Amino acid sequence: MATTVFINEFHYDNSGADVGEFIEIAGPAGTDLTSWKLVLYNGGSGGIYDSIPLSGTITNQSNGFGTLSFSRAGIQNGPTDGFALVDPSGKVVQFLSYEGSLTATSGSAVGMVSMDIGVSESTPPPAGQSLQLTGSGNTYEDFTWSGPKTETPGGLNGGQTFVSAPLPVINLATTQASAAEAGPVLGIFTITRTGSTAAALTVAYTINAASTATSGEDFVPLPGSIEIPAGQASATIIVTPIDDDRPEGNELLFLTLANNSAYSLDSHGSGAAIAIADNDPIVKNSFFFTEDRILSIQSAAPTRLKALVTGKADSQIGEIIAISVDDAQGSIDGLLPGDTGYAAKAQENAQLLLAVLADQEFGFLTQENVLTVAGGQFLQFALLSGGSLDDLRRGGSVEMLFATSEVNPDGQSALQTTSIDLQTIDLAFRFPRGGFGDVNLRLTLGDFEMALGSQLQGKSSESEIIDLTGIGAPVVNVTMDVYREAAFDNSVGFYLIEDMQGRVRDPLTNNLLEPGEAGYVQAALANRVGVTVTGRNDQVTRYSAQIAAGHLLTTFLVVGGTVEDLLDDNANNNPMIYFNHISANSDGIDHVRTLGANLFGYEDLAGGGDRDFNDVIVQVNIASI
């Protein structure tokens, strides 16, 4: 192995009385010589006659190398005297002699035979000269002893050129690849370097995004760097699994070395993985929230998630959205919570769970919804205030607080959770200027039936839509429970649409009309189905009808008037009409919210008014015949 810290120059004899005796050490800049030593040996007995403790750190005198000189009077004049350079671990790095070789009989070099350097001061030179290495390189083996010549203690020798050493190459490997919660059984990574071990080297690493194990949740957090001590070529990273009670299956921890100017990476060994075995059996249809407030669905197949509003303590309306994310940390397409662009990505992946009314006077309502979720799916949650998901996607000013704290301006989570059992968790949300419990929700996992007709609601923008396609019967029974709390005698109805975008077919021309296009209002009303309901203030009124299946339906609100007022020949008595699809509304504002499965709330004031969405509330119940 190449010697990177070495004896570079020394002087032991001169004409007249000996003066200025010294030994110089050379090595890579940054090498700390504390705890190194020079052991001086007598050639006659092979025993130790002196020892020089070393100290100080080598500075960069040329191309990453330098020297330190140590004075010591009384260095013996030979023949066959020598000295050993010993590192902090007690290892003899060099055992050199002059005027012949010797065998050490004691000390660190006991039993070793010295190497005669081949030059000497046996004919004493004038004071101010020394024996020294010359040549070009960066290890002892690159140079040749010469002299006596003019001494340069603590500086570069005449005729000596240090060449920059190649960067150490760092390798990461797994030396104990199987860890386990039970025990726990530790996992071990080993980081190894090439080249000089004279100085300590700090190596950085990261947890690769391919990891399924979560720091602080599945294993004790790692510092992200490790020091390979001076004198050592490797160091180990110990992975300690956390024995939790969550059934999550076996997981992988994948580390990747980080680039650094102090070293280069082994192209075939810059990443390694450890498997952490779980000791909790997976229960079918179970779920839990991770440390980052991400809901992890534990199921081998798609299942259903029911959300039920259990309490409301704030005077503003809010929308709760569920966001499909890629992993337990909540990342989306490589973006972690808090990264630039994360909130925009979350909007793209969001699904409306339900809107929560502003007060609790509607005790007769059950605000609940059911979503289909995939086995192994991860969900992020957020609470919207000051607007809806539709408003947000249209560029409106809407406040959004996430369950994961890193995304929020105040750095605090919007969610507290309480696990009831493996299939039930209570959620407490907070508004931006509120407290936990502003909105309370209970999530339950199970094989729930979705309300007939509700399967498209919340899955896209403007999705207050009833889906009657795919129903075996030609006709369905519909009941509508209507509650009204408004100064206007409003009317609510439903009409046929051709697609999720709300296009209608004009019965006169057979053309498809977009929301907001000329003639849309008349075409929509011409396609209405069932009954148009009005209700009475402060009470629930039930309406019943039979409607043909096989179509998509959406809703409209006529404010302070009737459909007939809109369709007659008198343009002066036309009331305002608002639709689910915002482009069809004259004020460009959302006037309908999904409060639950087939449960819709309406706002009757132009421009959004007080945005309470309780002027009319309609619960639609559908049963096939």
pLDDT tens track for 432-458: 988 999 999 999 999 899 999 999 998
* 237, 328: one domain: no
Of 162, 181, 207, which marks where a domain is finished?
162
- Residue 417: band (very low, low, confident or very high) from pLDDT cuts 50, 70, 90: very high
Q: What is the pLDDT of residues 319-354, one digit of tens each?
A: 999 999 999 889 999 999 999 999 999 999 999 998
pLDDT band at 284 (very low <50, low <70, confident <90, very high): low
Asked if omega into 229 is within 30° of 0 (cis), the reply is no
Q: What share of the chain is helix, strand, coil (3-state, %, to 5)?
A: 5, 45, 50
Q: Is there a single domain that holds both residue 200 and residue 254?
A: yes
How many domains, the chain? 4
Q: Which two tokens stand for residue 351?
A: 């699904």
Let me know whether 157 and 201 are in one domain: no
Q: How confident is the model at residue 267 (pLDDT cuts 50, 70, 90)?
A: confident
- Distance of alpha carbon 61 from alpha carbon 70, whole angstroms: 17
Which alpha helices (H) appear in 21-97, and where do they start and end? Answer: none
Find the mean pLDDT for residues 546-563: 94
Average pLDDT over residues 610-622: 91
Residue at a domain's end among 243, 277, 311: 277
**pLDDT category of residue 473 using cuts at 50, 70 and 90:** confident
Do 17 and 51 fall within a single domain? yes
Say yes or no: 502 and 520 in one domain: yes
Residue 455 placed within a domain: no
Same domain, 342 and 368: yes
Confidence of residue 134 (pLDDT cuts 50, 70, 90): very high
The percentage of the chain sitting over the pLDDT mark of 70, rounded to a whole number, equals 98
Which of 418, 446, 474 marks a domain boundary? 446
Is the residue at 460 inside a domain? no
Question: Do 158 and 174 reside in the same domain of the chain?
Answer: no
Instruction: Flag whether 454 is in a domain.
Output: no
Same structural domain for residues 220 and 310? Answer: no
Q: Specify the pLDDT at position 395.
A: 87
- Rounded distance, CA 583 to CA 530, Å? 24
Whether residue 358 is found in the same domain as residue 507: no
Q: Phi and psi of 71, rounded to 5°?
A: -80, 145
More confident residue, 196 or 173: 173
* 359 plus 404 within the same structural domain: yes
Structural domain containing residue 535: 465-624
Instruction: Identify the CA nearest to 180 among candidates 254, 225, 244.
Output: 244
Top pLDDT among 254 and 609 is at 254
Nearest C-alpha neighbor of 7 from the set 28, 33, 30, 27: 27
Residues 505 and 616 in one domain: yes
**Does residue 378 carry a pLDDT above 70?**
yes
Return the pLDDT at 282. Answer: 60
Range scoring the smallest mean pLDDT among 244-248, 471-475, 554-558 = 244-248
Task: Answer whether residue 521 shows pLDDT above 60.
Answer: yes
Residues 299 and 372 in one domain: yes
Q: Is residue 456 part of a domain?
A: no
Residue 98, pLDDT > 80, answer yes
% of residues, the chain, pLDDT over 90: 74
Residue type, 246: R
Average pLDDT over residues 564-572: 87
User: 345 — phi, psi (to 5°)?
Assistant: -65, -40
